[in-house]
Amino acid sequence: MCGWLAVLVVAGALLGAADEAVLRNPNVMRGLEITTQGAAVVVAPGECRIGGRTVAVASSAKLAVEPAPIIAVANEPITLSADKPAGWSKGTRLRGCNARDVNACGAFVPGSLEIRRAKDGELLKEGKDYLLDSDWGHVGLGPNSRVTTQDAVLASYRYSLLRMDTIQIAADGKVSLKSGEPHISAPVPPGTDAGALALAHVFVSYRAREVPQDHIYPILETPQEAVTRTTPGRVPRTLAKLQAGDAVRIVCWGDSVTAGGNASKPELRYVDVFAAGLRARFPKAKIDVQNISAGGSNSRQWLYPDKFPYRGKPWQETGVAWQRIADAKPDLVTLEFVNDAGMAPATVEAVYSDILRRVRNLGAELILITPHFTMWRMMGFKTMREPERRPYVLALREFAEKHHVALADASARWEHLWKEGLPYLTLLHNTINHPDDRGHRLFAEELWKCFQEK
């Protein structure tokens, strides 16, 4: 189970009023505490700074928060999979819940599904004719079904969207709520009106009828205030070549995220954003950036393909093998494997020592990239305000320090998102492990820091 709604309720209970009072926008001088009342938010009177001026909010403002839209789908033609629907990968997907490559976990409205063999025909029965995974909006053939996997049936159902709203204060002291554009999985908060201060964002979850206190995200810090362990100055040979205007070949090695998972177009994949930014910083250099990646792969499958074959196939067929990295003859290798996140610290030391040895034997330098945050059940989280604690990530940071290897600490940027007023889950386009365009850019921004002078 994805547990979106259940965890959100628990999360709201974990953040007490005393804690919330401390979480205030730095432009607030006094007051302006934000509380929730059912489906509304209340902003207390107070003062804030806007454009160097003190602006007073004379009285409290109660702002109604509209629920996110619920969309009805009628008579969608489908066939029922023979697979029992389970999680994001098994069963027939109800297409309305689509978040590009999988269904959005939690978007389907439980109890809304009706399946018929023909329009206005007799209803098929759940548990007999068909099976349903309501978390993911997947269906499959039932144990005593009156239809087969070859028969077209018609599915009618509802699904919900998410939204991010902005609480803003105008220069005249008026408080208002600006609604964002609804999205199946990755809503973006709207910008403020001209001359207004963005005080906080409000996360409107699937089918929510009330606003939990934990869904108020005061804007506490800017992205530039994020503290990461990214290390400038540890790729000196590559940096020297870039500064001299020489030819530089960089291999970006990784899994589906490196391949571009859920970026809206190729030029917004983090590898391409990184490459474009590097060329802008070093316009005289001849920069060749190669993307060598495979969705669902992990580092051991590339290093030891005979022992850990990718998708059970020989590496000669899949191309998932270290030899591809070696054949590229890189000056620099960047490494991103969120699929390594289950590694124990001892395994990190052993495997990444082998990676470092191989990269150095090529005469190349290495940048390790800490992975982004993924869905809660993978992170062991109960709120979207928790710090990084995955053993793999902590070990990767320690490995970089121990061996003096460059590190692009993308994880720390995701950890900081809530302080920027953003629940990190809203940057996961597939609700599992693929970032949206904003999430991809965070990788590039940390990589660019590695090319600064120490």
Question: For 190-229, how does the pLDDT look when each residue is reduced to its tens digit (9 = 90+)?
Answer: 999 999 999 999 999 999 999 999 999 999 999 999 999 9
Coil vs helix vs strand at 9: helix
Instruction: Tell me if 80 sits within 8 A of 130, measured CB to CB.
Output: yes
Residues 206 and 237 in one domain: no
Residues 143 and 174 in one domain: no
Q: Return the exposure string of 328-342: e unless at least 16 CB atoms fall within 10 Å of the residue's CB, then b.
A: bebbbbbbbbbbbbe
**Domain boundaries, position 429:** 224-449
Residues 432 and 330 in one domain: yes
- Give the Cα-Cα-Cα angle 25, 31, 32 (nearest 5 degrees): 60
Residues 209 and 266 in one domain: no
The predicted-structure confidence for 166-176, as pLDDT tens digits, reads as follows: 999 999 999 99
Instruction: Tell me if 223 sits within 8 A of 421, measured CB to CB.
Output: no
**pLDDT higher than threshold 80 for residue 445:** yes
Q: How far is CA 31 from CA 44, 65, 316, 435, in A?
A: 6, 21, 65, 36
Residues 344 and 384 in one domain: yes
333 in any annotated domain: yes
**Helix residue ranges, H only, 245-344:** 256-259, 270-281, 299-303, 315-318, 322-327
The predicted-structure confidence for 293-338, as pLDDT tens digits, reads as follows: 999 999 999 999 999 999 999 999 999 999 999 999 999 999 999 9
* Number of domains forming the structure of the chain: 3
Non-local CB neighbours of 340 within 8 Å, separated by 6+ positions:
298, 299, 348, 351, 371, 392
Residues 254 and 199 in one domain: no
| pLDDT on residue 5 | 45
27 in any annotated domain: yes
Domain boundary pick from 156, 180, 198: 156
Which of the four pLDDT bands, split at 50, 70 and 90, describes residue 453?
confident
Give 166: exposed, middle or buried? Use CB within 10 Å, 0-12, 13-18, 19+.
Answer: buried
Task: Report the distance separating Cα 270 and Cα 443, nearest Å.
Answer: 6
Q: Which of 392, 253, 254 is nearest to 327 (CA)?
A: 253
What pTM was computed for the model?
A: 0.94
Q: How far is CA 435 from CA 109, 110, 330, 368, 375, in A?
A: 24, 26, 27, 18, 11
The pair of structure tokens assigned to 158 is 């509802």
Which of the four pLDDT bands, split at 50, 70 and 90, describes residue 101?
confident
Residues 141 and 191 in one domain: no
CB-CB neighbours of 151 under 10 Å:
12
Residues 206 and 123 in one domain: no
| pLDDT on residue 9 | 40
**pLDDT higher than threshold 50 for residue 6:** no
Domain boundary pick from 218, 236, 260: 218
Domain boundary pick from 125, 140, 156: 156
**What number is the average pLDDT over the span 373-380?**
94
Q: How far is CA 443 from CA 413, 437, 447, in A?
A: 9, 10, 6
| pLDDT on residue 15 | 45
Residues 251 and 375 in one domain: yes
Which of the four pLDDT bands, split at 50, 70 and 90, describes residue 1?
low
Task: Report the distance separating Cα 59 and Cα 44, nearest Å.
Answer: 7
The predicted-structure confidence for 22-54, as pLDDT tens digits, reads as follows: 578 999 999 999 999 999 999 999 999 999 999
120 in any annotated domain: yes
| Domain of residue 393, CATH code | 3.40.50.1110
98 in any annotated domain: no
Residues 138 and 230 in one domain: no
**Pairing state of beta strands 247-254 and 286-293?**
parallel
412 in any annotated domain: yes
454 in any annotated domain: no
| pLDDT on residue 288 | 98
14 in any annotated domain: yes
Give 425: exposed, middle or buried? Use CB within 10 Å, 0-12, 13-18, 19+.
Answer: buried
The pair of structure tokens assigned to 305 is 């393909």
100 in any annotated domain: no
Residues 419 and 319 in one domain: yes
Residues 340 and 428 in one domain: yes
Q: Which residues pair with 433 in a beta bridge?
A: none
